[in-house]
Structures are given as structure tokens and as C-alpha cells.
Amino acid sequence: MASFHGNKINPSRFGFGQLKFYAVLVPLGFVMTLPIVFMFSQALKPLDELFLFPPTFLVRKPTFENLSSLLSLKDMSVIPVTKYLFNSIVVSGVVVSLSLLTSAMAGYALSKKRFRLRKVIFEINTIALMFVPAAVTIPRYLIIEKLGLINTYWGHLLPLLALPVGVFLVKQFVDQIPNELLEAAAMDGARDRYVFARIVLPLIAPAMATVAILAFQTVWNNAETSSLYMSKETLKTFAFYMTTLSSTVGNNVAGQGVAAAAALIMFIPNLIIFIFMQSKVMDTMAHSGLK
């Protein structure tokens, strides 16, 4: 039988035939990293480098002065920046955890369980993908107000828990799991909770990683819940503080340095979570089946 090892799409060994790919991808990757490098460089520039002309791309004398100024900064209501950061970290952690749980449970039920209105519920979830946030702002506010969640942490959490794309993605992944595998586990005496936790969740790990990234980016960069549902400054998030930073620090050189440091803080968590989960995301995009 002829061997096709040398013609694999993704060979495990380096070959000179791959040089043509490196010739394109390496320069492209270098160009795509330039904005990241500039963001770090801008946040680390001392005051005398921020407004140099012609401007410099890389920092010459890096300093953490901008970051320390940001963390020691207080707005007009004497709220430290660390309080906004604390709120963002708490809200992001809770929303990501609950979004993973609800997306996994809903995707599993819609894929493998048989109950009335199952298809209708999934169609509603699919239709929800078409709505932009602005279209549901008023009804969402009325719901939060009627539930008495204004000026509470639940006002941050509840509007962001609904992640239709997460349910859709998980459901599509669970569809690939053979029914025979789950039926065999049930015949061996495994309860539904065991099947879900020990069989389904490990098999849909790539989809879960993608849902985690989408949920984190949604909540970490969200300033809407703070501006609509929070009148207390102590409950607002760092994303909201970013929108008011220019008026807080003023349009001056020092203010630009603080703004650059704040933008870096907003960016770093997104970069870290993607670096650690990018392999799972690639598996999701490939949408590979079970073997």
C-alpha cells in the first residue's frame, strides 16, 4: 500500500517545501505584532518622549511612571482606580464562569435531549444572534429596573450572561458526539450528570475555550452596564472609567501617559487569555470531528 506520509497537509517535520509559507507568514506576523509593540512602548514612555517630534515608535527610556500615576489617580468622587479594576475582575470572573456553565448545559440539552419546543428554543437563540446591543437596550433596562437590580452587582452580571453565540457554538460541537457513545455510558449505569461532566465536557473543550474568550471580551470591554444601571461610582467598572479618563486627567502630556497605561491594562488580559487558549480556538475553527 502506498504511503502518503510525505503528502500530509500538516507534516510533523520541517521540509524545504515549507519555506514558501514562512516567506509570507513571518513578515505578515511581524506586521501584525507592531500595534501590540507600540501599545506597550507608548505606555512605558516617560513624559519627555510622549510628544517628541518626529514621534518615536519604540520607547528609549522605559518607565513605569505612567502606570503608577494611573493606580494612584482618583476621580472627582475620590474613588481609587483600583476599585474600578476590582469591580471589572469580579464581574468578568463571575460572568465567564456562569456563561460557560449555562452555554454547556443549554448546548448539551438542545443537542442530545428530546423535549417539546426544543427546536423552537434553538431557533429563538439563533434569531437572537441577529440583534445588536442597541436594539435591546430599552427592554433590557426595563427588566433590570423591574427586578430591582439597579446599583447591584447583579445589574452587571445578568445582562451579560445571555450569550447566544456560546449556546450555538456548544450545540454544534455536541452534535458531533455520537449518540452511541452516550448510550453506551448510560447502559453501563452512568447517570446523566456523570455523562455530561466526564464525557461531554472533555470532548467540547475547544468550544468551551472559545466561549470563555468571547464571554471575557464581552464583559471586560463593556461599559454599558455601568453607564445604564449604576449610579454609584463604587460599583462601576474599569471599562467605564476608561470612557471618562480624558475628562478626569485632562488633555495634557501627563494625561496622555495615564491614558496609554490604562489602555495597556485593558489589553493585557485579552492577550493573556488568548495566548493560553489559542490552540483550543484553532481546534474550534477547524471544527474537527471525533475519530
Domain contains 270? yes
Same domain? For 32 and 117 the reply is no
List the pLDDT tens digit at each of the 291 positions of the chain.
444 444 455 556 766 777 888 888 888 989 988 988 988 998 888 878 877 778 788 888 888 888 888 877 665 557 788 889 999 999 999 999 999 999 999 999 999 988 888 899 999 999 988 888 788 888 889 999 999 999 999 999 988 888 888 999 899 889 988 988 888 888 888 888 888 988 999 888 888 988 999 899 889 999 889 999 998 888 999 999 888 775 555 555 557 778 888 888 889 998 888 888 776 666 665 554 443
Distance between CA atoms of 171 and 155, rounded to whole angstroms? Answer: 28
Distance between CA atoms of 183 and 149, rounded to whole angstroms? Answer: 43
Contact 81, 234 (CB under 8 A): no
Alpha-carbon dihedral angle through residues 72, 78, 83, 85, given to the nearest 10 degrees: -60
pLDDT in tens, 233-244: 889 999 998 887
Whether residue 139 is preceded by a cis peptide bond, meaning omega within 30 degrees of 0, is no
Same domain? For 131 and 184 the reply is yes
| Three cell numbers written together for 92 | 468578568
Same domain? For 271 and 230 the reply is yes
39 contacts: CB under 8 Å, gap ≥ 6: 260, 263, 264, 267
Same domain? For 172 and 84 the reply is yes
Residue in the structure block whose three cell numbers are 440539552: 109
Same domain? For 100 and 230 the reply is yes
Q: Taking phi first (over 0 means left), then psi (-120 to 50 degrees means alpha), and beta for anything else, what does residue 150 get? A: beta
Same domain? For 240 and 179 the reply is yes
Same domain? For 144 and 273 the reply is yes
pLDDT in tens, 152-211: 999 999 888 888 889 998 998 899 889 888 888 888 888 888 889 889 998 888 889 889
Domain contains 277? yes
Same domain? For 118 and 36 the reply is no
Same domain? For 41 and 99 the reply is no
Range of the domain at 45: 17-63
Tell me how many domains the chain contains: 2
Same domain? For 163 and 52 the reply is no
Same domain? For 139 and 192 the reply is yes
Same domain? For 84 and 109 the reply is yes
